[in-house]
């Protein structure tokens, strides 16, 4: 395999073309020019230039004929970030094309960059019927979801004695609980059993002046009284064939635990030779299950060339089941021999 351009060579060509780029550092060069065939984890602190490094890696791979832009899948959290990365890669490739540095001047210049949820929705649209889920309709918007939850709360006649707040608070807590159940992939019956077990444990502790014990017990009692509302919400959605935006990732994770997982993974790997996972520290339980099912170690497919970039000190979505531990678990989720770089 002949490597025609180094990371520094391409940076210099881009600078000559008028691009506002810096010459990569030694650490960045090792990432940009990596020929590692399996999963890689990059621990990158704030201000380390990880987004620029990731786009430079795509450009290096394309310029050296290792992949075409359409064989690259980049995932991040926001539409804004996905759009910015798409524009950056296209602009740099266009500049290299003008400099005659692309192996094929006629190749499409856009990589496949989207949000984690959008990509999950795309995979679901192609395969969800295999597990009996119809995702042909548009997910309910935030206002419609709130209205549905509000109707359920206001018409509920069950015991709410453990909840000391008004309807708006209950609606907010209900939607939060539904979201967390979906992200964690927890069955309602299991959650109820565990909650009752812990209430029983707390009741056996002489609480005295221990406010922490009393607070934990109240929170669990509140959750138990809200579970019938969750069940009613779920039953309504199933009966009426409606879904929420958050359902997509939970269903995508379920899809990759089905008997069709290997077939779907094979199909997606054939499309994308390189997978880049941005802000990996903020991925949730369901997102990790989905992504590792597609691109992680597979008995018949092996591992895929997947690069995750993140910083455990910047995890901001703990309420959604994201945690700093997600990064440390990457090797076991994707491959025991995953390569880790720090910069």
Instruction: Quick: pLDDT tens for 231-279.
Output: 999 888 878 877 887 788 888 999 999 999 999 999 999 999 999 999 8
Question: Is it the case that residue 208 has pLDDT exceeding 60?
Answer: no
265-319, pLDDT tens digit by residue? 999 999 999 999 998 988 888 899 999 999 998 878 888 999 999 887 766 555 4
User: Exposure of 37 by Cβ count < 10 A (0-12 exposed, 13-18 middle, 19+ buried)?
Assistant: exposed
Tell me phi and psi for residue 45, to 5 degrees. -75, 170
**E strand segments, the chain:** 40-43, 72-76, 112-115, 274-277, 306-310, 339-342
Question: Is it the case that residue 321 has pLDDT exceeding 60?
Answer: no
Question: Is it the case that residue 213 has pLDDT exceeding 90?
Answer: no
28-39, pLDDT tens digit by residue? 999 999 988 889
Count CB-CB contacts under 10 A for residue 25.
14
Count CB-CB contacts under 10 A for residue 331.
16
Cα dihedral sign, 264-265-269-272: positive
| In the block, residue with structure tokens 């591992």 | 303
Position 319 scores a pLDDT of: 46
Q: Is 208 helix (H, G, I), strand (E, B) or coil?
A: coil
112-140, pLDDT tens digit by residue? 999 998 999 899 989 998 988 877 777 88
For 109, residues 6+ apart whose C-beta sits below 8 A from its C-beta are: 69, 89, 90, 93, 94, 97
Count CB-CB contacts under 10 A for residue 204.
7
Tell me phi and psi for residue 5, to 5 degrees. -120, 140
For 143, residues 6+ apart whose C-beta sits below 8 A from its C-beta are: none
pLDDT averaged over the chain?
A: 87
Question: Is it the case that residue 333 has pLDDT exceeding 50?
Answer: yes
Where does the pLDDT of residue 338 fall: very low under 50, low under 70, confident under 90, or very high at 90 and above?
Answer: low
| In the block, residue with structure tokens 């509302």 | 229
Cα-based angle 35, 296, 310 (whole degrees, multiple of 5): 70
pLDDT: which is higher, 3 or 242: 3
78-87, pLDDT tens digit by residue? 899 899 899 9
Tell me phi and psi for residue 187, to 5 degrees. -80, 140
Cα–Cα separations (whole angstroms), residue 32 to 17, 40, 212, 225, 288: 20, 12, 49, 52, 24
Tell me phi and psi for residue 196, to 5 degrees. -65, -35
Where does the pLDDT of residue 64 fall: very low under 50, low under 70, confident under 90, or very high at 90 and above?
Answer: very high
Of 305, 308, 304, 326, residue with least CA distance to 317: 326
152-200, pLDDT tens digit by residue? 999 999 988 888 888 899 999 999 898 888 777 788 899 999 999 999 9
Question: Is it the case that residue 72 has pLDDT exceeding 80?
Answer: yes
Please provide the size of the chain in residues: 343
pTM of the predicted structure, to 2 decimals = 0.82
């Amino acid at each position: 395999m002949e490597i025609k351009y180094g990371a520094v060579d391409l940076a210099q060509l881009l600078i000559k073309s008028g691009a506002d780029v810096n010459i990569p550092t030694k650490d960045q060069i090792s990432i940009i020019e990596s020929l590692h065939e399996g999963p890689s984890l990059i621990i990158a602190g704030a201000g380390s230039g990880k987004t620029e490094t990731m786009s430079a890696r795509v450009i290096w791979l394309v310029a050296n004929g290792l992949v075409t832009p359409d064989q690259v899948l980049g995932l991040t959290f926001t539409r804004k970030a996905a759009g910015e990365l798409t524009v950056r890669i296209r602009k740099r490739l266009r500049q290299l094309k003008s400099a005659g540095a692309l192996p094929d001047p006629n190749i499409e210049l856009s990589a496949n960059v989207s949000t984690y949820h959008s990509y999950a929705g795309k995979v679901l649209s192609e395969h969800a019927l295999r597990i009996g889920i119809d995702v042909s309709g548009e997910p309910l918007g935030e206002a419609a979801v709130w209205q549905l939850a509000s109707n359920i709360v206001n018409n509920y006649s069950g015991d709410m004695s453990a909840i000391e707040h008004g309807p708006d608070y209950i609606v907010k807590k209900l939607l939060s609980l539904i979201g967390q159940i979906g992200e964690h992939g927890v069955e309602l019956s299991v959650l109820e059993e565990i909650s009752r077990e812990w209430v029983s444990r707390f009741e056996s502790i002489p609480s005295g002046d221990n406010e922490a014990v009393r607070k934990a017990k109240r929170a669990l009692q509140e959750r138990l009284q809200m579970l019938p509302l969750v069940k009613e919400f779920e039953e309504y959605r199933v009966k009426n064939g409606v879904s929420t935006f958050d359902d997509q990732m939970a269903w995508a994770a379920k899809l990759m635990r089905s008997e069709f997982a290997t077939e779907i993974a094979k199909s997606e790997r054939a499309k994308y030779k390189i997978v880049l996972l941005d802000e990996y520290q903020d991925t949730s339980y369901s997102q990790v299950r989905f992504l590792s099912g597609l691109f992680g170690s597979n008995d018949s497919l092996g591992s895929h060339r997947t690069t995750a970039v993140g910083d455990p000190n910047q995890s901001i979505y703990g309420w959604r089941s994201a945690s700093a531990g997600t990064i440390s678990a990457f090797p076991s989720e994707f491959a025991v021999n995953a390569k880790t770089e720090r910069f």
